[in-house]
């Protein structure tokens, strides 16, 4: 279907989605910033991929990441973040998107399963109503404890200055 490491435009993703649907395959979709890729991201994506036949991952654009995560973020630019995500063996394709939520991607792709982290048990999930409107299923997966980009950034900031 798709070569490994594929970053798709929305029209390309829709064409790939049509192929999956025609073949009776289940599409799983998730999204995030994926700034400073770490094992928490990998674990989350592996769990998502295990739920279906293909995993598409939306990657927030740089402006959206700065708006949602704060000044100084992202650390890694979106083209690089998307390329890294797409290269993971559990990911079939990455799609860069510029809006603050993935609602429009969800509405366009209509994945059978939409996955987010368990931290959304207590937070508003903006894409939920879009998924439920066409009969899709939202699944929240447990996240690895002590694994987050924010925690990683804090550890880096706490490093002592190198001595000469």
pLDDT at 97: 97
pTM of the model: 0.90
Task: Write the pLDDT tens digit of every residue in 18-71.
Answer: 999 999 999 999 999 999 899 999 999 999 999 999 999 999 999 999 999 999
H or E segment and range at residue 40: helix 39-49
Confidence at 2, pLDDT banded by 50, 70, 90? low
Q: pLDDT: is 29 or 153 the higher one?
A: 29
Confidence at 149, pLDDT banded by 50, 70, 90? confident
C-alpha 94/C-alpha 125 separation (Å) is 21
Cα–Cα distance list, 60 to 20, 68, 106 (Å): 24, 10, 13
H or E segment and range at residue 113: strand 113-117
Top-level class of domain 7-157: alpha beta
Domain extents for the chain?
7-157
In sequence order, the 6+-apart residues with CB closer than 8 A to the CB of 120 are 140
């Amino acid at each position: 279907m798709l070569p490994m490491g594929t970053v798709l435009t929305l029209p390309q993703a829709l064409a790939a989605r049509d192929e999956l649907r025609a073949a009776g395959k289940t599409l799983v979709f998730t999204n995030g910033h994926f700034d400073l890729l770490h094992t928490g991201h990998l674990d989350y994506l592996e769990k998502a991929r295990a739920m279906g036949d293909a995993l598409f991952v939306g990657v927030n654009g740089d402006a959206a990441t700065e708006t949602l995560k704060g000044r100084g973020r992202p650390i890694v630019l979106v083209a690089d973040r998307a390329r890294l995500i797409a290269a993971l063996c559990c990911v079939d394709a990455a799609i860069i998107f510029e809006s603050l939520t993935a609602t429009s991607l969800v509405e366009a792709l209509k994945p059978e399963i939409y996955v987010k982290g368990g931290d959304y048990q207590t937070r508003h999930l903006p894409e939920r109503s879009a998924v439920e409107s066409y009969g899709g299923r939202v699944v929240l997966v447990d996240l690895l404890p002590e694994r987050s980009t924010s925690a990683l950034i804090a550890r880096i900031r706490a490093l002592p200055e190198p001595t000469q």
